[in-house]
Amino acid sequence: MSGLEEIFIGGFDYRHLISIGFVLAGGSFIQSAVGFGYGLWAFPLLLFLTDLPVPGVIALMGSSGFIQSSVSAYHHRKYVVWKKLFPFIIIGIISLQVGIWTLHSLQGLDRSTIKQMTGAILLSILIIQYIFSVQPREKVHPFWGVIALFLFGYISGIDAMGGPFAVLWVMAHQWSNRQMRGSIIAIIVCVIPFQVFLLVSQFGPVALNAAVLGLLFMPMALLGTFAGLWIGDRIPKKRLRRLAVGLLFIIAATAILHPLFQ
């Protein structure tokens, strides 16, 4: 019996529910405060702390993340450059389907291997962000937007950690801090409904039940969101970003080395 089935017949350990709530609240807090990190934080931890299958984890994150992202997008609504974003959002939605097809082909892997792969992907993303910290410019060639949003959608379909590729592209523009944060959140808000729909279409009840479960954690997600927005407007972003990145490095290393501690 899968963890998701147990949730809906009353056999799911309440400690798992508590851990899910705190993980989603933490991810919402980080993303609202520094502009990225929800998937990087929540996906590896949910794999560690629950027995949910990967499609279930992504669907759960998607439904609860949509709430967080919608509130943040509304908070920055005046600064979103929709005309610039729309064509690239379409690319992300198309590549999302390719990522979900890839996820389907990986279903035979055991959870330890998936955890190690997740840690390796997370570590790679963090290193890419560090190495390719490009200087903002007035004009960015559309080619880079196509590449960034394709990778964003593809990785989001596999493990919901594609956000940093969108972040790298947005931060390459000479936009204000609010424009950048608003644009990143706008991309995520537009993609999440397609992500959940495609997961439910591909994986059926496993993804659907998880998506419903994610909605039940709305209070925790909103609590983390409002706290993150409040902190993000009052504490230097660089300090928060360093702390968030440091925690993500620890999560990545733990995931990669996990089999050594079994």
Would you state the pLDDT for residue 153? 94
Q: Token digits for 116?
A: 């190690």
Would you state the pLDDT for residue 261? 52
Highest mean pLDDT among 4-8, 113-117, 186-190, 249-253: 186-190
Q: Which segment of 103-117, 131-145, 146-160, 237-251 scores lowest on mean pLDDT?
A: 237-251
pLDDT of residue 11 exceeding 50, the answer is no
Would you state the pLDDT for residue 195? 96
Please give the share of the chain, as a percent, with pLDDT higher than 70: 88
Mean pLDDT within 40-48: 86
Please give the share of the chain, as a percent, with pLDDT higher than 90: 27
pLDDT of residue 10 exceeding 50, the answer is no
Mean pLDDT within 89-102: 95
State how far Cα 230 lies from the chain centre: 21
Q: What is the mean pLDDT of the chain?
A: 82
> Helix (H, G, I), strand (E, B), or coil: what is residue 12?
coil
Task: Let me know: does 161 contact 103? Beta carbons within 8 Å.
Answer: no
Per-domain residue ranges for the chain? 3-261
Q: Token digits for 250?
A: 């620890």
Task: Let me know: does 150 contact 97? Beta carbons within 8 Å.
Answer: no
Q: Which residue has the higher pLDDT, 235 or 249?
A: 249
140: left (phi over 0), alpha (psi -120 to 50) or beta: beta
170: left (phi over 0), alpha (psi -120 to 50) or beta: alpha
Model confidence at 44, in pLDDT bands (50, 70, 90)? confident
Model confidence at 134, in pLDDT bands (50, 70, 90)? low
Would you state the pLDDT for residue 133? 64
